[in-house]
Amino acid sequence: MKTLKLLLVFLFFVQISFAQVLDLELELVANGFNSPLEIQHAGDDRLFVVERGGQIKILDPSTGIINPTPFLNISSIISTNANERGLLGLAFHPDYSSNGFFYVNYTNTSGNTQISRFTVSGNPNIANNTSELQMLSFTQPFNNHNGGHIAFGPDGMLYIASGDGGSGNDPENNGQNANNLLGALLRLDVDLPAPYIPADNPFVGISGSDEIWAYGLRNPWKFSFDNETGDLWIADVGQSAREEINKEPSTAAGLNYGWRCYEGNLFTNINQGAGCPPIEELTFPIAEYNHSSNRCSITGGYVYRGSEYPAMQGLYFFADLCSNQIGTVNASGNLVFHGIFGVATITSFGVDIDNKLYLTSFGNGGAVFKIKENTPLSINESQLENSFALFPNPASESVTLDFPQRNMEEVAIYDLKGSLLTTENTSNKNNTSIAVSHFSRGMYIVVLTTKTGKKIFKKLIVTN
C-alpha cells in the first residue's frame, strides 16, 4: 500500500511539475507539402494532410512517404486569393469506416464559407472528387477571419469554427450578434436531414441562429476536444494585445466568449462598450498571453493523451505563428512557453490513432513534424529496464546498480523537477553504490549513459 501511495504521488507530479521543464524536440516526418493547414486521421495509421490550395494528401508517418495521388483534389472550386482563404478544415465521420463520409470547410470561388460532405471511392486512398454534398454556406464580408477548423465532438456532432468576418475591430459587431453565423462555434447533426440542426442547440426556438453553439469569438484557430475529459479547448486569435485560450465542458451551450467587448481579459472599449452585455454573462479564457517577444497569433492544438511521453500527459499544446514558440497550458490554466523552434509558421497540430502529437509548418518545404519530449520520465521504461539491475528499490540508505557488460559511462539521478542531484563516472565498472540517505522521501529517476551515448532509465523510490 505504501508503494501504491508513492506511485499516485508520482503520477500527480508528472502532471503538474513537468509543465515547467519540458525538453521538446521536433522530428521531421515529411516535407514537400504546399501550405499545409491541417492533420487528421481516419481511425487508422494514415495521416491526412490538408493543403490550403485544395488538396488532401495521405502520409505514412512511419516511413515519411506521401502517396503520389492526392486523396482529394478540389482546387478548382477553392479561393486562395487572400492569406486566410482556402481549404481550411477536414473531419471524418465517426462511422467513416462504414459510410465513407468526410467533411471539409473551404472558401469558395466567391470568397464565402462552404461546409460540404464528400465520400471515399472504392479505393480507400482516393476520394470521389465529384461526390460533394453542400450542407451549409454563409457569406464572408471580408477576406480574413474565416476560422475554418471542423471536428466531431464526443457527442457525435460536427462543430465548425467561424471567424467574425474580418477587417479590424469587428466593424459589423458580428462577434456579439447571435443572429448570424460569424464569430461563433457552430454545431450540426450531420445524420439529420438538412438543415442538420440538433434539437438541443442553445438558440433553437428562441432569438438567435439555430446553428450556433457558442459565440463572441474573433478568429478561432483552432479548437479541439480532450479525448479523456471531453473538454472543449478553443484558441482564439487576438487583434493587437492578447491571444486567448478558452476551456469549457463540451456540454456548456450558449457561452459568450466576449469579443469584441474583450480581447482576452482586456476590455477593448470599442465604441465605448456599446452593445456589450454585463460582464457576468461572458466567459473568460483559462489562459492568455501578450504580444511581447515577437508573438502575434495563436495556433491551437490538442491535449496530449498519448502514452509515449508521460511528462506531456494532460497538457494542452499550442504555438505562436510569428515567434515559432510552442507552449502548453495545464488543467489549472498555467501557461508555459518551451522555447523557440527552428520551424517557420506553425499552422496546425494533429494527432494520430495512438494520440501521438504532430504539427504542420509552412517552412521547411511545407512540413509535418512529430513532437517528442526528452525528459527522463518520457522514456518508456519497459523497453530498457532489463539492461541493468537496481536494488534495493525502494531504498533508504543507498542503492546499488549492476551492469555486468561494463559498457556504462555514467550514472545520474534526477528529481521529478528535472534537477540533477548526483552523477558518477562508471567507465570500466560493472557496479556502483550511491548513497540516498540524504534524499527526501519520494520518486526519482536514475539515468545510465552507455559508452555509445544511449540512455537507460529507471524509477527509484526513496522511503526516508
pLDDT in tens, 379-403: 544 444 455 788 999 999 999 998 8
Residue of 385, 444, 439 lying closest to 414 (CA atoms)? 444
pLDDT of residue 409: 87
CATH number listed for the domain at residues 381-462: 2.60.40.3080
How confident is residue 182, by pLDDT bands cut at 50, 70 and 90? very high
pLDDT in tens, 220-230: 999 999 999 99
Write down the pTM of the prediction.
0.81
Please, what is the average pLDDT of the chain?
Answer: 91
Query: Which of 79-93, 262-276, 357-371, 445-459 shows the lowest mean pLDDT across its residues?
Result: 445-459
Give the span between the Cα atoms of 178 and 331, in whole angstroms.
Answer: 29
Residue of 246, 211, 214, 220 lying closest to 231 (CA atoms)? 246
Quick check: 375 and 366 in contact, CB under 8 A? no
Check residues 293 and 450 and name the one with the higher pLDDT.
293
Q: How far is CA 321 from CA 178, 420, 423, 427, in A?
A: 29, 34, 40, 46
Q: What secondary structure does DSSP assign to 317-386, as a single string?
A: EEEETTT-EEEEE-TT--EEEEEE-S-S-EEEEEE-TT--EEEEESHHHHEEEEEEE-SGGGS-GGGTGG
Residue ranges covered by each domain of the chain: 22-374, 381-462
How confident is residue 452, by pLDDT bands cut at 50, 70 and 90? confident
Given a cut of 90, whether residue 21 has pLDDT beyond it is no
pLDDT in tens, 297-334: 999 999 999 988 888 999 999 999 999 999 999 999 99
What the block records as the C-alpha cell of 283 is 466567459
pLDDT in tens, 235-250: 999 999 999 999 999 9
The percent of residues in the chain predicted with pLDDT above 70, rounded, is 92
Which CATH architecture describes the domain 22-374?
6 Propeller (2.120)
- Helix-then-strand count for the chain, H and E: 3, 34
Quick check: 38 and 89 in contact, CB under 8 A? yes
pLDDT of residue 376: 61
